[in-house]
Chain A
Amino acid sequence: MKNLSYLICILFGLGITLSSCNNQSQKSNGALSSSAAEKVYVAPGEQDEYYAFLSGGYSGNLTVYGLPSGRMFKEIPVFSQFPTSGYGYSEETKPMLNTSFGFVPWDDLHHPDISQTNGELDGRWIFVNGNNTPRIARVSLSTFETEEIIEVPNSAGNHSSSFITENTEYVVAGTRFSVPVPQRDMPIDEYKGNFKGALSFISVAPDNGRLNLEFQILMPGFNYDLSHPGRGKSHGWFFFSTYNTEEANSLLEVMASQNDKDFIAAVNWKKIEEYVKNGGGTKMPANYAHNVYDEETHTGTSTMIKEVVTVDPTKVPGSLYFLPTPKSPHGCDVDPTGQYIIGSGKLSADITVHSFDKMLAAIEGEKFDGEAYGIPILNFEEVLAGTVKSGGLGPLHTEFDDKGNAYTTFFISSEVVKWKVGTWEVVDRKPTYYSVGHLMIPGGNSRKPFGKYVVAMNKITKDRYLPTGPEMEHSAQIYDISGEKMELIYDFPTHGEPHYAAGCPADLLTENSKKIYRLDENKHEYATIGPDDARVERNGNEVHVYMSTIRSHFTPDNIEGIKVGDKVYFHITNHEQDFDVPHGFSIIGQGTSEILVMPGQTKTSLWEPKKVGVWPFYCTDFCSALHQEMQGYVRVSPANSNIDLSWSLGE
């Protein structure tokens, strides 16, 4: 009897516990969804907490978003022509897309990285890579415009790029495809042993950011996939993941997946820098473009460089080691302390973590497992810090928060996995929609991450948004990572195919963001500084129109004396000095694109009239209540006519 009553008591007690549990979970579900809405809601008129710069992939451009709202603010044209502003179409910006292959109006932009000082984001510039026709670009974070593009010779598939060292000493670009160096006519099946992989170190001038290709390390013909700098204690080293150490040249899908382990290459760039400084390396003939946009002349210039310094790493003892890493590693990430190098074997379930200290000890103790092309291979066990037994499949990339956690994306199992650095235990996992590639935590690859949000950028969208036919934009998800468990709080479409992204606190950039260009600093060769300078000049069949704009008219707005066959350069200077008052210029039959001219700026559009007649031009930006009146006419006469040039306004 006594026992029975105990039992009843226990059951009763259990019942209460269970039912109260039920109630709680129901309640918290409701609260959860409403708090997610609050977390991403940025009220009208308010601003986001973080900037996020998402690569545009095959759009060739860089997009700027706000976190946590997921709102897009701007598309910055970098490697692709952009009719919205006239980038790559205007005479001033055409040189920016010049390469050794001529004018290449497109690229595949992959990995943005914000400049750093002492391993922390400093918000001066953002660097991006063009994957297809190897290029590195520097984008100003005060004008949010592309200021410089340098082509990378001896490279192909510029993928393990554009990552910077912790004081922005270098922006580093590694080749994904090994190629003959120098390029030459040779049979493809002689790849093995003959092709080379170039790792390029491009210096960044601390005052103005100017890029210079200092040296290229010529590596064995593997595929150099991704890279990240050492930081803190490992500053001075750079780590590159490799695959295809099999050196296959066909059906890589199978042929490059035969070795159980490929390598992470650890490069002691300080040693090589010193070697080059002391006259080491080989000067090799080359031909690559260096394009610089000057903010004061509002003009880009392209210069061809004819020489590059290459370094055979086997000639610099202690400069290069291979860390065996299982299953064709893709992501190669370094934690905020600089102690751990994370290699994500993309065909594996596990994440491999190497220890920097153990690596130094193994080098010291010469714990080698043979060599590859004269480069020592360190013993796997000797450098291994640990393995994250994730339970997922297909790890790709890792970012870090400020509480000692790492977040790794899994492409195949479509999830983000949170784990503890040091103990390697998995803390949490959340699905992504679908098949995530990179992820980004603002500052998540620096010494000082801001661990509040993580953005997962996916490769597959399918049913996430209203259907828009077979082709659609890629999806991204935002998770709140401020707590122990990750919480999915938002889902938004991106533009192009975002690969990597970079983010920073908003206040790092807001103060420096330019509002206008000063007209009194405009040094453009064809600027019209005062309305009295407006004029039209002929030089053979070239006609230069010096035109100014202010709300809401062009000066001049009537032009006569243009002939069929002329090349007419419209140099438009915007005289506004007011925030957000651009004027556009477009003219019928414009074979390039319209141009959008910011206050104080000068841009040039080339027009080649083909038909006799009187042709209108107009402002493309709704600049004021009298925008519709902002127009003019050009009289085009037959090629053999003798009508003098004349121009006027208000006559």
Chain B
Amino acid sequence: MKKASILMIIGPLFLLGLYVLPLWNIMLGAPQYPEPLGMNIFIDGIKGVNEFDIQNIDGLNHYIGMRTLPKPEDMWEFSAFPIIIGVMVALGVLIGLLGFLGKVSYKWFLGWFVLMSILGVLGMYDFNAWMVDYGTNLDPNAIMKLTNEDGTPVSYKPPLFGHVKMLNFDVTSLPSTGAWLMFTGMMLTVVAFFIGKKAWQPKGGTHPAKPIKVKANDK
């Protein structure tokens, strides 16, 4: 259980990467942009991959009537996410410590993972909803008003995951380093759960020093 608890302490710490590394990355390449424009989405705001990318993306988007990309103060998410992540890291580390001290069982590890996953899915849902709004809620006086074959307006919603061809742009949207660190951290907590579970099973509820012995016996 000690090994599992250590993993449970380490896992949530991986989420700290989100404070400095981008969660998501969207790249926009086009014939006249051989060096693509790009935005990195952080938990506290959106930044250009290169210094003037945001300004240039906004400049292009005004043709199709998109609003400018949100500043941190324009969306509650950019102030809420850092707090939520902070709380989840603290909670995860606390569970790990309590597990180490034998105060809580391995099931709490999975509990944290499930909670984090629910929050993650909610976050993705929210992100997607924002992109739908951003990509379809266009200025009625837009310079270019394009419609699909059936007469409905073209949506410029970027993909949540993967590649889409949008007018002259190839848009690729993928999780970025921050997200990969988060996934790794979350996976570590699942591993912690299974190791904890394995150590736990034979005796059921003994003090934390035991499992190592039991494991040795298994061999």
**B57 CB to nearest A CB, Å:** 10
CA A140 – CA B184 in complex, angstroms?
49
Whether A550 contacts B59 by the Cβ 8 Å rule is yes
- Render A519-545 as a binary contact track against B, CB cut-off 8 A, 1 for contact: 000000000000000000000000000
CA A579 – CA B35 in complex, angstroms?
10
CA A626 – CA B63 in complex, angstroms?
9
Task: Find chain A residues with CB under 8 A from B35 CB.
Answer: 579
**A630 CB to nearest B CB, Å:** 12
Task: Find chain A residues with CB under 8 A from B52 CB.
Answer: 516, 577-578
A635 within 8 A of B: no
B56 within 8 A of A: yes
B55 within 8 A of A: yes
Task: Find chain A residues with CB under 8 A from B63 CB.
Answer: 625-626
Task: Find chain A residues with CB under 8 A from B55 CB.
Answer: 577-578
B143 within 8 A of A: yes
**A98 CB to nearest B CB, Å:** 35
- Render B39-68 as a binary contact track against A, CB cut-off 8 A, 1 for contact: 000000000000110011001000100000
Whether B143 contacts A626 by the Cβ 8 Å rule is yes
Q: Which residue of B lies closest to A551 (CB)?
A: B59
Task: Find chain B residues with CB under 8 A from A578 CB.
Answer: 52, 55-56, 59
- Render B95-120 as a binary contact track against A, CB cut-off 8 A, 1 for contact: 00000000000000000000000000
Whether A577 contacts B56 by the Cβ 8 Å rule is yes
CA A625 – CA B143 in complex, angstroms?
10
**B35 CB to nearest A CB, Å:** 8
Q: Which residue of A lies closest to B60 (CB)?
A: A551
Q: Which residue of B lies closest to A629 (CB)?
A: B143
- Render A571-583 as a binary contact track against B, CB cut-off 8 A, 1 for contact: 0000011110000
**B56 CB to nearest A CB, Å:** 5
Q: Which residue of B lies closest to A578 (CB)?
A: B56
Task: Find chain A residues with CB under 8 A from B56 CB.
Answer: 577-578
**B131 CB to nearest A CB, Å:** 24
Q: Considering residues B55, B59, B63, B143, which has the most beta carbons from chain A within 10 angstroms of its beta carbon?
A: B59
**B60 CB to nearest A CB, Å:** 8
CA A589 – CA B51 in complex, angstroms?
40
CA A577 – CA B63 in complex, angstroms?
17
Q: Which residue of A lies closest to B144 (CB)?
A: A625
**B6 CB to nearest A CB, Å:** 46
Q: Which residue of A lies closest to B51 (CB)?
A: A577
Q: Which residue of A lies closest to B168 (CB)?
A: A625
Task: Find chain A residues with CB under 8 A from B51 CB.
Answer: 577
Task: Find chain B residues with CB under 8 A from A551 CB.
Answer: 59
Task: Find chain A residues with CB under 8 A from B143 CB.
Answer: 626
Task: Find chain B residues with CB under 8 A from A579 CB.
Answer: 35
Task: Find chain B residues with CB under 8 A from A577 CB.
Answer: 51-52, 55-56
Q: Which residue of B lies closest to A576 (CB)?
A: B59
**A450 CB to nearest B CB, Å:** 28
CA A642 – CA B217 in complex, angstroms?
104
CA A556 – CA B180 in complex, angstroms?
48
**A573 CB to nearest B CB, Å:** 15
**B213 CB to nearest A CB, Å:** 62
**B180 CB to nearest A CB, Å:** 30
CA A551 – CA B59 in complex, angstroms?
7
**B61 CB to nearest A CB, Å:** 12
Task: Find chain B residues with CB under 8 A from A516 CB.
Answer: 52
Docked complex: A465-520 residues within 8 A CB-CB of B: 516
**B111 CB to nearest A CB, Å:** 49
CA A539 – CA B143 in complex, angstroms?
38
CA A578 – CA B52 in complex, angstroms?
7
**B62 CB to nearest A CB, Å:** 8
CA A516 – CA B56 in complex, angstroms?
13
CA A462 – CA B169 in complex, angstroms?
48
Task: Find chain B residues with CB under 8 A from A625 CB.
Answer: 63
Q: Which residue of A lies closest to B52 (CB)?
A: A577
**B33 CB to nearest A CB, Å:** 9
- Render A551-592 as a binary contact track against B, CB cut-off 8 A, 1 for contact: 100000000000000000000000011110000000000000
Q: Which residue of A lies closest to B59 (CB)?
A: A551
**B64 CB to nearest A CB, Å:** 11
**A89 CB to nearest B CB, Å:** 29
**B38 CB to nearest A CB, Å:** 13
**B76 CB to nearest A CB, Å:** 28
Q: Which residues of A contact B (CB under 8 A)?
A: 516, 550-551, 576-579, 625-626
Given contacts A551-B59, A578-B55, 13 further A-B contacts (CB under 8 A): A516-B52, A550-B59, A576-B59, A577-B51, A577-B52, A577-B56, A578-B52, A578-B56, A578-B59, A579-B35, A625-B63, A626-B63, A626-B143
Instruction: Name 7 A/B residue pairs within 8 A (Cβ), A-sorted.
Output: A516-B52, A550-B59, A551-B59, A576-B59, A577-B55, A577-B56, A626-B143
Would you list the 10 A-B pairs with minimal beta carbon distance, nearest first? Answer: A577-B52, A578-B56, A577-B55, A551-B59, A626-B143, A578-B52, A550-B59, A577-B56, A578-B59, A625-B63
